[in-house]
Amino acid sequence: MLGLVSLGTVSTSSAQLIWTGDQDFIWSTNNAGNTNWDTNTLPASTDTVQFGATAPGTITLGGANRTVAGIQFLSTATTAFTLNTGSNRVIINSTAGVVVQAGSANHFINATGTDIALQVASTTNTSFDIAAGTQLTISRVDFNNRGITKLGDGILTVNPNTSIASNLAVNAGTLELTGNLGNGGTSGSGGLTGSGTITASGGTRTLHVLGRGTPLDSTFSGSIQSTINLVKGRTEQNDTGTLTLTGTNTYSGTTIARTGTIRVMGTHTGGDNYSINGHTTATTASGVLAGTGTIVLADNTKTFSIGDGDVDGSSGVLYPGADNTDTGVLTLGSSGINTSVNFNTDGILRLDIGASGNSDRVNIFGNLDLSNSGDTLELLSLAGAWGGSTYTIATFTGTLSGTFNNVIGLDSGYVVNYLGNSITLSAIPEPSTYLLLGGGLAMIYLLRRRTKA
């Protein structure tokens, strides 16, 4: 009897347990020391469980949460497995995460209704390595404010329940969202990195990228696609982190910068409205749109709205250029799809002014609206700035309404010119120039008088 008790107990050291299904389709079955695992022990929290060619189908947990180091669907698992967790969940407590090997079928981890099917518990980034040609679908996942790394060229389909605090790294393949990642209040993704693809299904989903209290700069060179809204920053925080997008993005949802910076160095085509508004309860916060890329919205009705934050001291900023050490050009719209760029209350156009006429510039295919009170032109001088050069700081193919209400940083020898299709900064002529011009005109007048005489 004592020997039987020792059999079928939980594994006491780190091991790999292979599913056999010898008894039934319940994870925790122990019939007098006989289990559904090849070791005839039950998986421990330090073990990795593997599913291969044997006994595919639907497996239930047996009425309790199950904690393991990792889950692997082997290449021999050519028929689908479904882990049906019911009202319980599988907890992954190591960075090993979940692996679906090449040649494997598409597998599922499902809970009942809105219950959590899988929870991440590792204190560092947990990986989901999904091989090309395969897909893992998790009905409801709790990222538990941990970091996540998506590996492999396959598809990971998830409905996130909570946020990712440190970083979401989509290094390869596709992350498909069937729910929102973060809610824009106190949760979301701390940063976004990698070169993979992020998509959505079942409706429009929101991807929140947040600084989480500490500025977190991140660069995503992959592609955000389909019906996704991209939100930077949170309402309760002065987030100064920067999300840089260097890839080809085609997501059709809205783009919102509540706090922090969205820097577009690649392209975004087919999107809905951009709202760069500093919409936050942190009184010093700014939402910023920057970069040297090209943004072409879905049609002529879509707009860029800069400013109009709801708290005094917050602002929305349009800041062309890659950074604050050099100058660059940001393009909004195209010859085929025009847009409108509207500066609202607390809207700021921030520009670096360099040497020899070089400055940041925004090129707008469409209209530029400066008619709202409170908008500001802010000029930052780099080495060699001014010196008599003329700067073109904005171009537009449509109409110009109004002028900037406030101008900050303009050299005392310069003036802002609002022209037919551009805004320029030019030097004010010296008084001697006016005297010479007046003298020349007077000489021409006298010569004409003599000729008539």
- Can you tell me the distance from the alpha carbon of 90 to that of 100, in angstroms, rounded to the nearest whole number? 16
Sign of CA dihedral 334, 273, 183, 286: positive
In this structure, the dihedral spanned by the alpha carbons of residues 268, 183, 303 and 292, taken in order and rounded to 10 degrees, is -40
Please report the pLDDT score of residue 8 as a whole number. 47
If phi > 0 it is left, if psi is from -120 to 50 it is alpha, else beta; for residue 225 that is beta
- Can you tell me the distance from the alpha carbon of 356 to that of 359, in angstroms, rounded to the nearest whole number? 9
> What is the CB neighbour count within 10 angstroms for residue 121?
14
Query: Based on the domain organization, do 150 and 264 belong to the same domain?
Result: no
Please report the pLDDT score of residue 59 as a whole number. 98
Domain end position, chosen among 135, 162, 189: 162
What's the number of domains the chain is made of? 2
Please report the pLDDT score of residue 68 as a whole number. 97
The answer to whether the beta carbons of residues 92 and 119 sit under 8 Å apart is yes
Please report the pLDDT score of residue 240 as a whole number. 74
- Can you tell me the distance from the alpha carbon of 180 to that of 223, in angstroms, rounded to the nearest whole number? 17
The 3 state secondary structure assigned to 207-260 is EEECCCCCCCCEEECCEECCCEEEEECCCCCCCCCEEEECCEECCCCCEEECCE
Residue 35 in any domain: the answer is yes
* 355 Cα distance to chain centroid: 33
The answer to whether the beta carbons of residues 65 and 45 sit under 8 Å apart is no
For residue 439, report the phi and psi dihedrals to the nearest 5 degrees: -65, -40
- The highest-confidence range among 165-169, 305-309, 379-383, by mean pLDDT, is 379-383
3-state secondary structure of 150: strand
Residue 405 in any domain: the answer is yes
Query: Based on the domain organization, do 146 and 263 belong to the same domain?
Result: no
Query: Based on the domain organization, do 140 and 268 belong to the same domain?
Result: no
Residue 295 in any domain: the answer is yes
pLDDT tens per residue across span 388-438 = 999 999 999 999 999 999 999 999 999 999 999 999 999 998 765 545 555
- Can you tell me the distance from the alpha carbon of 388 to that of 300, in angstroms, rounded to the nearest whole number? 38
Residue 391 in any domain: the answer is yes
Query: Based on the domain organization, do 16 and 135 belong to the same domain?
Result: yes
Query: Based on the domain organization, do 150 and 281 belong to the same domain?
Result: no
Domain end position, chosen among 134, 162, 190: 162
Residue 184 in any domain: the answer is no
* Segment 307-322 mean pLDDT: 80
Residue 43 in any domain: the answer is yes
Exposed e or buried b for every residue in 238-251, given b needs 16+ CB within 10 A?
bbbbbbbbbbebbb
**At 2, is the pLDDT very low, low, confident or very high (cuts 50, 70, 90)?**
very low
**At 373, is the pLDDT very low, low, confident or very high (cuts 50, 70, 90)?**
confident
Query: Based on the domain organization, do 35 and 147 belong to the same domain?
Result: yes
- Can you tell me the distance from the alpha carbon of 213 to that of 238, in angstroms, rounded to the nearest whole number? 8
In the predicted structure, residue 203 carries a pLDDT above the cut 90: yes
Residue 400 in any domain: the answer is yes
* 67 Cα distance to chain centroid: 31
If phi > 0 it is left, if psi is from -120 to 50 it is alpha, else beta; for residue 278 that is left
**At 162, is the pLDDT very low, low, confident or very high (cuts 50, 70, 90)?**
low
Domain end position, chosen among 105, 134, 162: 162
Query: Based on the domain organization, do 145 and 288 belong to the same domain?
Result: no
DSSP 262-331: EEESSEEEEE--EEE---SSSTT-EEEEEESSEEEESSTT-EEEE---SSTT-EEEEEEBSSTTS--EEE
Please report the pLDDT score of residue 211 as a whole number. 61
Query: Based on the domain organization, do 265 and 379 belong to the same domain?
Result: yes
Tokens 């109009």 sit on residue: 308
Which is more confidently placed, 168 or 226?
Answer: 226
Q: Look over the chain and give the mean of its residue pLDDT values, rounded to a whole number.
A: 88
Hey, what are 264's tokens? 């577009």
Mean pLDDT lowest for which of 179-188, 310-319, 403-412, 414-423?
Answer: 179-188
* Segment 360-385 mean pLDDT: 96
**Terminal-residue alpha carbon distance, the chain:** 136
The answer to whether the beta carbons of residues 255 and 271 sit under 8 Å apart is yes
* Segment 166-177 mean pLDDT: 91
pTM (two decimals): 0.89
- Can you tell me the distance from the alpha carbon of 178 to that of 162, in angstroms, rounded to the nearest whole number? 13
Tokens 């009942």 sit on residue: 112
Residue 120: give the domain boundaries.
1-162
Query: Based on the domain organization, do 269 and 414 belong to the same domain?
Result: yes
3-state secondary structure of 441: helix
* 286 Cα distance to chain centroid: 17
Residue 175 in any domain: the answer is no
Query: Based on the domain organization, do 157 and 45 belong to the same domain?
Result: yes
Let me know how many helices (H) and strands (E) the chain has, helices first. Answer: 2, 43
Please report the pLDDT score of residue 185 as a whole number. 45
